[in-house]
């Protein structure tokens, strides 16, 4: 029964990781940039939701506003900063996003202080008992919202006209340009969508996390792991990878030690990168491999 319990709460954590990984994937697939500030964007979204909730806003609206605010913020950063450093190699975008992560982290700390905040719950946090496994209403609600959000994002990329253009830019920005798709704006769009997902995810942290300004890095790592295990750039894969990571972590707590909860996820990340860098669902890509 312990195993089932661990799997159940693992899934509740996992969908959050999946959403973070999904944001990464959308940005990476289109622009080829790994956004190291993704976890911090989630934290930023979390703080927005907490504050709006304290002002008595309805939670749904607060989530929406957080998503929009964080998405627009990230899009602006992309427009103003990142677009200047494309083409200068691998290090510049990484250093910029890492600098952004540091700035967001300490900016939040400066404005909000280091006292932990508790993100609002989506529903009453009553546990229900399914065959000996305890799950809370909150966990169920988070899973539902996360799956809907992921479905919306994936559907947008896969089935809409704009999403198709986004994928065209990802395949070859020059040819896309010849077909009248302005790659520049679609890069910004990818960051808008990825940032928006991060913002909403922040509002879903609920009883899974206590919000602190320094939470970002571990969220980013979990998201990276989810995206890599699923196949970097693959939306379904990110969600699948996230759930796998969440379950693995909870099994590690059960069987190894709580201190090494993250270690198992990291081990999985390293193993996948070495053995199958394209992840479970990713298509084998020539880039990222040595000759």
CA 210 to chain centre: 17
Q: In angstroms, give the least distance from the CB of 97 to other proteins.
A: 9
* Region for 217 from its dihedrals, namely left if φ exceeds 0, alpha if ψ lies in -120 to 50, beta otherwise: alpha
Q: In angstroms, give the least distance from the CB of 136 to other proteins.
A: 29
Closer Cβ to other proteins, 99 or 116, answer by number:
99
Q: In angstroms, give the least distance from the CB of 26 to other proteins.
A: 15
235: number of CA atoms within 13 Å, CB side? 22
**Which letter, b or e, does each residue of 200-220 get, where b requires 16 or more Cβ atoms within 10 Å of its Cβ?**
bbbbbbbebbebbbebbbebb
Q: In angstroms, give the least distance from the CB of 277 to other proteins.
A: 5
> What does the radius of gyration of the chain's CA atoms come to, in whole angstroms?
18
Closer Cβ to other proteins, 142 or 190, answer by number:
190
Other beta carbons less than 10 A from residue 93's beta carbon: 22
Burial (CB < 10 A; 0-12, 13-18, 19+), residue 153, is buried
Q: In angstroms, give the least distance from the CB of 39 to other proteins.
A: 11
Measured torsion, CA atoms of residues 138, 140, 144, 146, in degrees rounded to the nearest 10? 60
Rounded Cα distance, 147 and 8, in Å: 15
Closer Cβ to other proteins, 8 or 244, answer by number:
244
Q: In angstroms, give the least distance from the CB of 121 to other proteins.
A: 30
Closer Cβ to other proteins, 51 or 276, answer by number:
276
Burial (CB < 10 A; 0-12, 13-18, 19+), residue 190, is buried
Q: In angstroms, give the least distance from the CB of 145 to other proteins.
A: 28
Applying CB under 8 A, the residues found at the interface with other proteins are 28, 32, 34, 80-81, 84-85, 88, 90-92, 94-96, 98-107, 109-110, 217, 221, 224-225, 228, 232, 257, 259-260, 262-263, 266-267, 269-270, 273-274, 277, 287-291
Closer Cβ to other proteins, 167 or 276, answer by number:
276
Other beta carbons less than 10 A from residue 197's beta carbon: 31
Closer Cβ to other proteins, 161 or 289, answer by number:
289
Rounded Cα distance, 146 and 150, in Å: 6
Closer Cβ to other proteins, 111 or 126, answer by number:
111
């Amino acid at each position: 029964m312990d195993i089932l319990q661990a799997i159940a709460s693992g899934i509740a954590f996992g969908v959050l990781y999946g959403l973070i990984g999904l944001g990464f994937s959308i940005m990476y697939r289109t622009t080829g940039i790994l956004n190291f500030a993704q976890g911090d964007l989630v934290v930023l979204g979390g703080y927005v939701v907490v504050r709006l909730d304290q002002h008595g806003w309805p939670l749904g609206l607060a989530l929406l506003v957080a998503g929009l605010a964080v998405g627009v913020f990230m899009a602006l950063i992309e427009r103003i900063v990142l677009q200047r450093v494309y083409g200068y190699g691998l290090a510049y975008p990484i250093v910029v996003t890492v600098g952004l992560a540091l700035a967001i982290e300490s900016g939040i700390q400066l404005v909000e202080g280091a006292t932990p905040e508790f993100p609002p719950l989506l529903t009453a946090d009553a546990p229900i008992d399914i065959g000996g496994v305890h799950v809370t209403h909150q966990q169920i609600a988070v899973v539902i919202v996360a799956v809907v959000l992921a479905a919306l994002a994936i559907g947008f990329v896969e089935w809409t006209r704009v999403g198709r253009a986004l994928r065209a830019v990802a395949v070859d920005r020059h040819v896309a340009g010849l077909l009248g798709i302005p790659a520049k704006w679609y890069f910004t769009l990818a960051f808008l969508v990825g940032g928006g997902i991060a913002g909403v995810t922040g509002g879903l942290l609920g009883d899974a996390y206590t919000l602190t300004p320094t939470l970002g890095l571990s969220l980013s790592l979990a998201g990276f792991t989810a995206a890599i295990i699923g196949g970097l750039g693959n939306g379904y894969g990110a969600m699948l990878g996230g759930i796998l990571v969440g379950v693995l972590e909870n099994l590690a707590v059960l069987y190894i030690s709580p201190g090494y909860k993250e270690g198992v996820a990291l081990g999985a990340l390293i193993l996948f990168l070495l053995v199958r860098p394209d992840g479970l669902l990713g298509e084998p890509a020539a880039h990222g491999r040595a000759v």
